[in-house]
Chain A
Amino acid sequence: MKKTLLTAALVAGFSLPALAQQITVINFGGANANAQKKAYYEPFEKTGTKVVAVEYNGEQAKIKAMVETKKVTWDVVEVESPDVARGCDEGLFEKLDYAKIGNKADFLPAAVTECGVGVFVWSTVMAYNGDKLAAGPKTWADFFDTKKFAGKRGMRKGARYNVEFALMADGVKVGDVYKVLATKEGADRAFKKLTELKPSIQWWEAGAQPPQFLVAGDVAMTTVYNGRIDAANREGKNLKITWTGGIYDLDYWVIPKGSPNKDAALKFIAFASTPDAQAEYAKNIAYGPTNTKALAKLDAKVLGNLPTSPANSADALQFDLKFWADQGEQLEKRFAAWAAQ
């Protein structure tokens, strides 16, 4: 018996890696990774390719190091929007062959780029605890008004999103935010507005923190990635989102240049871009599909939580990745100087 087991184990050990192809897919972990596993990895494995999921925290430096040393071990990577354009320009990613992925016209316009295809639409919004605050903030001006709403505010450590929110709170129209921010006076105005709120801000670093702040009562309201609120509410919490003035953005699939499993990686991306897979994903976490045909497969309840639904996106701002690719370094440095004042 023992011997047969051993033989079986040996046979399995030697033959499996030879039979099954394997790709390594990198994601951001957390609730998002679980939803991806259900909607993308597990169904894709049924087609015969094993998916090894690895988490990272968006460090493009890791991809750069792999590509430069020509030791690429990652096949598909989920990246944030500023990194798609930058990495594509600097030759870190493979150019995508859309004939193998799907019909470009089916996707949101922003989801189709030279090196990356959109995975989902997510939004940074304001949220509050429905159990502790009956009438929540309606606008960013409310969020910045500590007289009207007492208590601390959670905000992400860094300039990104916060300077946009500050301008909206200062009365800049959604459509003009990036136009104003591009000027020296606009940036001054944003930081001046942030200074007003500074004593009341409790900063967060990881996406999992703001829902915890709300549940623990550390803050009265916070900026947060909308999917995290959805995940907390699935665990029985009563957190509420105000969609007005939220900043929506896409995450993208890219293939690092020189990936040894490029074909399988493309097949995976094509699979994850189908309406069925994307609809399944949206049911597991409240991030919007990039394939517009997936919307028809979702019911009203799921749609109501997505950043892409008409009601939620009416007063939303699209993240301007060209602006941040140009101005990001300068603004982040200014933020560091501002924080020290």
Chain B
Amino acid sequence: MSATLAAPPPDPRALQHALARADKQRKLRAFSLTLPLLLFLALTFLVPIAVLLKRAVENPEVANALPRTAAALDGWNREGTPPAEAYAALTRDLASLPDSADAGALARRLNSEVPGARSLVMATYKALPLPQTTAATSATDLKAAVLALDERWGEPTYWQAIAKNGSRWTPDYLLTSVDLRRDAKGAVERVEPEQRAFGRILVRTFEISLVVTLWCLALAYPLAYWLTTLPARTANVLMILVLVPFWTSILVRVAAWIVLLQSEGLVNHALIGLHVINQPLALLFNRTGVVIAMVHILLPFMILPLYSVMKSVPPTYLRAAVSLGSAPLAAFFRVYVPQTYAGIGAGALLVFILSIGYYVTPALLGGPDDQMLSYYIAQYTNVTVNWGMACALGALLLAATLVLYAVYRRVTNSELSLG
């Protein structure tokens, strides 16, 4: 390097090129070092999210199983019973399905739109070929035969569901996740009041997360402050006390809270023994229990960023403020607290975002009104096996988190710093 510098450059442009090239190579080398990580992130993070988002709008069941029926329903005005050709196409489509699994998938898809479609589709599929019909039977006769098999085929709702889902992509899952739906003709409307669930669940999810975050902040702030005032040795010992529960399995901690909080549990016994209360308090299987356990589990996520930020605040500032005549409390709030905003922001965001996705704790400690969005994602994945709906709710959760992060950045006007 020094040799090149010593010799006078033959052409400044060539040097510029050489420098640019060297710079580019350096960057490339640096980039190639991060390549394994990027690849890992792409495979374990970006690809699954992309698949999830795709599944939330994918709708292949009807298009795969009933292509002729969907075509026959194309010009139908979606009122009354459809034309006889649709009935004929339906019998042909169902009869030519290669495997009963395809009929099952179709039945599941239609049933999530119109309850009852499952048994209707499966019974029709199993009854094919219809008695006394041949390939030459006219469409009108086929219609009569299908109606004779199950008169529900005369109701327009099932046909509307087929017509609506003829395309391979659908906004339906995403609409349902915000309590909307498309009516028979495709216009968006709100669902019936007794089916409006997810809006409230989303609000509830945010509500619980917010309460947990505030409690965590209220408990962690004084503790972290106290830790910074202690000599290093004592602070380290106390820090271990904070971290030990952090390393314990969530299930174990939840089970421990059940033992403590139940109506014959330690907490109630102690309170009754001290004559604070006469009747045991209901601390479990309601919102109280969920919040207590979640605050306990998430507290370290608030303490750690707060502590690391507070450690970097010189105690001299506070002393200077007091010696210049400020009241101690005012000095604390006007001089010290503003310097820990970064820690508060990081801790609060961390706790809030972790809370939003909580599942096990509310499932075990809460009632049906304390379940958060993840509970319903799990239910759609495992119990109902409606993965489109599960993915749509997952997408909703993801979008909510991203919006929140954007708001946070706008408000604090800074990148997230973890101390």
Contacts and interface: CB of A to CB of B under 8 A. Distances in A.
Interface of A: 57-62, 64, 86, 88-92, 157-158, 188, 191, 201-205, 216-218, 322, 325-330, 332-340
Interface centre among A61, A64, A332 (most CB of B within 10 A): A61
Given A86-B385, A89-B122, A340-B204, A203 B103 contact: no
Contacts of B184: none
Contacts of B200: 337, 340
Contact of B263 (A62, A88, A216): A216
A338 B194 contact: yes
B328 interface: no
Main secondary structure of the interface of B (DSSP, over half): helix
Contacts of B112: 329
A205 to B, nearest CB: 6
Nearest to B380: A329
A55 B384 CA distance: 20
B384 A328 contact: yes
Nearest to A187: B194
A336 B367 contact: no
A91 B195 contact: no
Contact of A202 (B119, B285, B363): B285
Contacts of B385: 60-61, 64, 86
A187 to B, nearest CB: 8
Interface size class of B (residues with CB under 8 A): 35 or more
Interface of B: 99-101, 103-105, 107-108, 111-112, 115-119, 122, 194-197, 200-201, 204, 262-264, 284-285, 363-364, 367-369, 371, 376, 379, 381-387
A59 B387 CA distance: 13
Contact of B376 (A201, A336, A338): A336
A58 B108 CA distance: 18
B194 A203 contact: no
Contact of A205 (B117, B363, B384): B363
Contact of A216 (B117, B118, B262, B371): B262
Contacts of A191: 194
A327 B195 CA distance: 13
B363 A59 contact: no
Interface centre among B108, B262, B368, B386 (most CB of A within 10 A): B368
A132 to B, nearest CB: 12
A200 to B, nearest CB: 11
Contacts of B122: 89
A149 B396 CA distance: 44
9 contacts: A89-B107, A91-B104, A326-B118, A328-B384, A334-B194, A335-B368, A336-B197, A336-B376, A337-B197
Contacts of A340: 197, 200-201, 204, 369
Contacts of B382: 57-62
A89 B100 contact: yes
A327 B116 contact: yes
B107 A337 contact: no
A205 B360 CA distance: 11
